[in-house]
């Protein structure tokens, strides 16, 4: 039989200003714990197989796992496993997915002018951005509650004494599947383009109101679709095995660990090989979820480390089953192919 390589991933990056507010310190030690346990088992029990511990930097916007994949880091792996902490209050483990995500950048280019002397000579790029922002805010009511759209403004040398001639907005569009995300992204991009691109024939012919808005701002718009990441496809066979181990040894799985609105570069890995990415909750204070300073505090507590080791032990058991049970490994591969068919 072809010998399998099982890998565990140690994400390890932190966030500017708030440190390990996403708990990647716990993911880091989880991979190390599992790899050490697996190595010991392989040596003591003479098991044929390969264990790989892959340290993956730059998860937060840097696409570390995707870049490593492109450079061949996963070539000897058949299965890839990791875990991620989410907010408590109590301990739980679940297999919910994450959201597919796309970055979109919008730039408005106008014309600057003295805000007191001759503001009528200006084309206000900040106004254009504010209008588009509000348009997206209205659209939010007509998107599904499982979708997420967030944007921020960026400008250089902004000053109330000048009409801003350049504005940037950075947006993240998320949805439960890549296909749904692409649909919502289209609707969001329409909010940026129609109003402000005065050369758009739709505006010229059909929408006198919008044409007015376009002329009022008079700005040019440039929309750039940046990187995208898929949602996580949790491998069903690996997931069932994890649930079984957790149930037998550590109590129930439940859906209490709510980080399914987040996104991860692991999504793309789960599209190219069987993967599993359980979430486990650590005790947090109310409002102290991922990406807050409260989570940084929670992620360093001893009880969080204990919670991390529970899911790590379960992941080690799942990985060892891949290495030692050929039928199970085939089920994992079949589940992957089945899932691929389903998503088309």
Ligand X SMILES: *[C@@H]1O[C@H](CO)[C@@H](O)[C@H](O)[C@H]1NC(C)=O
In the complex, the residues that contact ligand X under the rule CB under 6 A are 63, 66, 94-96, 131, 135, 139, 187, 190-191, 194-195, 210, 213, 227-230, 253, 255, 260, 268, 271
Q: Please confirm whether the linkage preceding 89 is cis (ω < 30° from 0).
A: yes
Q: How far is the CB of 61 from ligand X (least distance, A)?
A: 11
Contact (CB, 8 A) for 174 and 263? yes
What are the φ/ψ torsions at residue 65 (nearest 5 degrees)? -70, -35
Q: Which is nearer to ligand X, 161 or 344 (CB)?
A: 344
Q: Which is nearer to ligand X, 25 or 268 (CB)?
A: 268
Task: Check residue 193 and give left, alpha or beta (phi > 0: left; psi -120 to 50: alpha).
Answer: alpha
Q: How far is the CB of 44 from ligand X (least distance, A)?
A: 33
What is the rounded distance in angstroms from the CA atom of residue 90 to the CA atom of residue 103? 33
What is the rounded distance in angstroms from the CA atom of residue 138 to the CA atom of residue 18? 31
* Residue 206, both tokens: 């059909």
Q: How far is the CB of 144 from ligand X (least distance, A)?
A: 12
Q: Which is nearer to ligand X, 118 or 247 (CB)?
A: 247
105: β partners? 170, 224
Q: How far is the CB of 113 from ligand X (least distance, A)?
A: 23
Q: How far is the CB of 59 from ligand X (least distance, A)?
A: 12
Q: Which is nearer to ligand X, 121 or 254 (CB)?
A: 254
Q: Which is nearer to ligand X, 38 or 143 (CB)?
A: 143
Contact (CB, 8 A) for 15 and 21? yes
Residue nearest to ligand X (CB): 255
Q: Are strands 275-276 and 79-81 parallel, antiparallel or unpaired?
A: parallel
Q: Which is nearer to ligand X, 35 or 214 (CB)?
A: 214
Return the sign of the alpha-carbon dihedral for residues 297, 102, 146, 84. negative
Q: How far is the CB of 187 from ligand X (least distance, A)?
A: 6
Nearest to 154 by CA among 123, 189, 129: 129
């Amino acid at each position: 039989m072809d010998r399998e390589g099982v890998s565990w991933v140690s994400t390890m990056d932190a966030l500017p200003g708030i440190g390990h507010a996403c708990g990647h310190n716990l993911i880091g030690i989880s991979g190390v714990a599992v790899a050490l346990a697996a190595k010991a088992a392989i040596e003591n029990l003479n098991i044929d197989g390969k264990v790989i511990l892959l340290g993956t930097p730059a998860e937060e916007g840097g696409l570390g796992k995707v870049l490593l994949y492109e450079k061949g880091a996963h070539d000897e792996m058949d299965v890839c496993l990791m875990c991620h902490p989410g907010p408590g209050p109590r301990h739980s483990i679940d297999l919910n997915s994450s959201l597919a995500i796309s970055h979109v950048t919008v730039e408005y280019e106008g014309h600057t002018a003295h805000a007191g002397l001759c503001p009528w000579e200006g084309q206000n790029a900040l106004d254009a951005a504010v209008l588009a922002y509000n348009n997206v805010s209205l659209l939010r009511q007509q998107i599904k509650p499982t979708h997420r759209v967030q944007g921020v403004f960026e400008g250089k040398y902004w000053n109330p004494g000048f009409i801003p001639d350049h504005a940037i907005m950075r947006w993240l569009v998320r949805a439960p599947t890549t296909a749904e995300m692409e649909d919502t992204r289209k609707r969001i991009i329409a909010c940026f383009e129609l109003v402000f691109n005065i050369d758009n024939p739709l505006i010229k012919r059909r929408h006198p109101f919008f044409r007015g808005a376009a002329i009022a701002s008079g700005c040019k718009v440039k929309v750039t679709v940046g990187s995208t990441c898929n949602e996580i496809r949790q491998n069903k066979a690996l997931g069932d095995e994890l649930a079984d181990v957790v149930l037998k040894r550590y109590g129930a799985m439940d859906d209490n660990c709510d980080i399914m609105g987040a996104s991860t570069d692991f999504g793309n890995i789960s599209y190219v090989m069987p993967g599993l990415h359980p979430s486990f909750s650590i005790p947090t204070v109310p409002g102290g979820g991922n990406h807050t300073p409260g989570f940084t505090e929670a992620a360093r507590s001893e009880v969080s480390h204990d919670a991390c080791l529970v899911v790590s032990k379960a992941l080690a058991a799942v990985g060892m089953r891949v290495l030692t049970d050929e039928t199970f490994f085939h089920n994992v591969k079949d589940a992957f192919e089945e899932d691929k068919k389903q998503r088309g």
